[in-house]
Amino acid sequence: MVDAISQNLTLDFYNTQAMQYVAETVDLDVSTIRNFFLNLIPRGGHILDLGCGSGRDSRFFLNHGYSVTAVDASSALAKLASEFIGKAVENRSFQELDYSETFDGIWACASLLHCPKSEMDSVMHKITQALKPNGIVYMSFKYGEGERVDERGRFFNDYTDADMTQLIAEHADLEVVEVFTESKPLRSGFQTWLNVFAKKQIK
Ligand SMILES: C[S@@+](CC[C@H](N)C(=O)[O-])C[C@H]1O[C@@H](n2cnc3c(N)ncnc32)[C@H](O)[C@@H]1O
């Protein structure tokens, strides 16, 4: 119940502040981590941009010859992103994913951090299902422990590298490629992020 309320408040933020949020994030430089991801998947492969926000990375992937499916649970962001990338954006949540062996890569940049920890296991299962064998998922979280609501009313799960490695270990089809922290400037100061790359193993 609390989870549902927190998620609604999170989406309320993205829906009501969509234009401002796009302005804040559309030009963020994520090139280093994005190139790391692209080097792990086939050139021109199919990417799911999960929680695409402004569409910044979908647009980059499309402009570089990749096939892209973009998804976001905020209807306002999905609409703005769709205009930005010139392609429909699916307005649904990561809890509603139902793809099967469709993607070479799943790019979940700062999006799964809004998923309640109680739902992470199920969402990770859907992500694994959606990946082709050898497919790669990238996810980023704020580094820390527990769950919290920030000053903008958004829900966050925070993870340490140990907790994330443990979560992935619980999914037999996934193996960790790389988990590392990174400190980056964001609005009011520096923040530590947890970057996670995992691969769907061939059975
Ligand atoms: C911090 S923003 C990151 C946006 C974008 N990936 C980026 O890196 O700029 C989080 C995004 O996740 C989306 N989101 C939040 N909850 C979601 C959910 N349950 N399913 C799918 N997307 C969700 C938000 O609407 C928002 O676009």
Complete domains list, the chain, with CATH: 2-200 (3.40.50.150)
- For the ranges 14-28, 115-129, 185-199, which has the lowest average pLDDT? 185-199
For residue 7, the model assigns a pLDDT of 84
> What band does 189 get if pLDDT is binned at 50, 70 and 90?
confident
What is the distance in A from the centroid of ligand 1 to the CA of 110? 7
For residue 6, the model assigns a pLDDT of 78
For residue 2, the model assigns a pLDDT of 55
> What band does 192 get if pLDDT is binned at 50, 70 and 90?
very high
- Please say if the pLDDT value at position 187 is more than 80: no
Residue bearing the bigger pLDDT, 194 or 202 = 194
The position carrying tokens 């993607």 is 103
Nearest protein Cα to ligand 1, atom 27: 53
Task: State how far the Cα of 115 lies from the Cα of 42, in Å rounded to an integer.
Answer: 28
For residue 136, the model assigns a pLDDT of 98
- Give, for ligand 1, the residue of 111, 150, 158, 182 to mutate: max count of ligand atoms closer than 8 Å to Cβ: 111
Nearest protein Cα to ligand 1, atom 10: 111
What is the distance in A from the centroid of ligand 1 to the CA of 53? 5
- Please say if the pLDDT value at position 1 is more than 60: no
pLDDT in tens, 144-184: 999 999 999 999 999 999 999 999 999 999 999 999 999 98
Give residue ranges with CB within 6 A of ligand 1.
10, 14, 25, 51-54, 56, 72-74, 77, 93-95, 109-111, 114
Atom of ligand 1 nearest to the CA of 49: 6
Nearest protein Cα to ligand 1, atom 25: 74
- Please say if the pLDDT value at position 25 is more than 90: yes
For residue 51, the model assigns a pLDDT of 98
For residue 202, the model assigns a pLDDT of 83
> What band does 83 get if pLDDT is binned at 50, 70 and 90?
very high
What is the distance in A from the centroid of ligand 1 to the CA of 203? 31
- Give, for ligand 1, the residue of 114, 140, 154 to mutate: max count of ligand atoms closer than 8 Å to Cβ: 114
What is the distance in A from the centroid of ligand 1 to the CA of 51? 4
